[in-house]
Structure 1
Amino acid sequence: MTRTIVDVSDEQILRALLEVEDISNRAVAARLGCPYRRVEEVRKRAGLPAYVRGRRAAYATLKEAFLAQVEPVQGGHMRWTGPREKTGTPVVRWRSLLDTAYRVAFRLHHQREPVGYLTRSCEIPGCVAGAHQRDLTMREALAAGGAS
């Protein structure tokens, strides 16, 4: 099998690299009929990240993973649509992390780690809204007459 190498401009290569998200140098080279090493050089000169083989994370951030698995409900509540443990507890899986949706929601909303176990401040079963989660510190402050 004879390969025909086509004269392709750097601009054409760059356009092909930017046209499809996360495309390999070999795929661009095959599509344009040029050497993959040339595509690699254009990618480097343009400052584009190197193509990484293998499986990609479904979500770029923990927040993105959480938000993709909830749906807002009237009254500021959040219904979990993602996976659950056998006990029914909603869980967030992101990269190597596995945590309850309640704890992730608390962290995202309050920008800190929860202290102790979490309880809901609302009466909606299973609500995973971060603003509706209370940790030990908040419960103690509420019992002492402070703000929630």
Structure 2
Amino acid sequence: MNTRTAIEELLHAGHGNKAIAKQVHVRHQTVAAIRAELGLPNIVRPSRAGYSEDAFWQRTQPVDGGHLNWTGHYNSTGVPCLRTTDGMHTAYRIAFRIRWRRDPVGPVKPGCSMDRCVHPDHVEDQPMRQQYEAIFGAAA
């Protein structure tokens, strides 16, 4: 994936200029220029209690297929985690809050084909998985 494409995907996913610049290793002015070309508004995110969304995005890297790889800390069981002002949280739960703007119910897991994907559009909480299973049946 080329740099421009990665920037455009992250912009359309709602990420801030500075967070994208750090992920893609370009100047934030470059991201701002592409944002302006695409006619997308600037994003100003209030920080949430306990963590910063930018802290999450700074620890991710886009990979093929629209997935996000976690480049931050993993706990002893291999779960991607982020230490915040109020303790340790899984990257899955933070990604879920970013996407759905609510706290998840039960465990949060990737619902896509990539093991340990932390893309906010790819994580599911327990009720989402139960609904999927009720419609399509349990995964084989």
Unpaired segments of 5 or more residues in structure 2? 1-49
Give the alignment partner of residue 132 of structure 1, picking from 97, 122, 125. 122
State the distance in 2 between where 1:112 and 1:61 align: 14
Q: CA deviation at 1:140?
A: 2.4
Q: CA deviation at 1:97?
A: 3.0
C-alpha RMSD of matched pairs (Å): 2.0
Q: CA deviation at 1:112?
A: 0.9
State the distance in 1 between where 2:77 and 2:111 align: 21
State the distance in 2 between where 1:94 and 1:132 align: 22
State the distance in 2 between where 1:113 and 1:140 align: 17
Could you tell me which residue of structure 1 aligns to residue 84 of structure 2? 94
Letter in 2 for 1:68: Q
Q: CA deviation at 1:61?
A: 5.0
Task: Give the TM-score, by structure 2 length.
Answer: 0.56
State the distance in 1 between where 2:122 and 2:106 align: 16
State the distance in 2 between where 1:120 and 1:71 align: 16
Q: How many residues align?
A: 87
State the distance in 2 between where 1:86 and 1:61 align: 21
Q: Which has the higher contact order (CA 8 A, sep 6+)?
A: 2
Task: Give the TM-score, by structure 1 length.
Answer: 0.53
Letter in 2 for 1:136: Q
Are 2:132 and 1:142 aligned?
A: yes
Q: Percent identity?
A: 38
**Max Rg structure:** 1
Unpaired segments of 5 or more residues in structure 1? 1-59
Is the deviation greater in 90-99 or in 106-115?
90-99
State the distance in 1 between where 2:67 and 2:135 align: 25
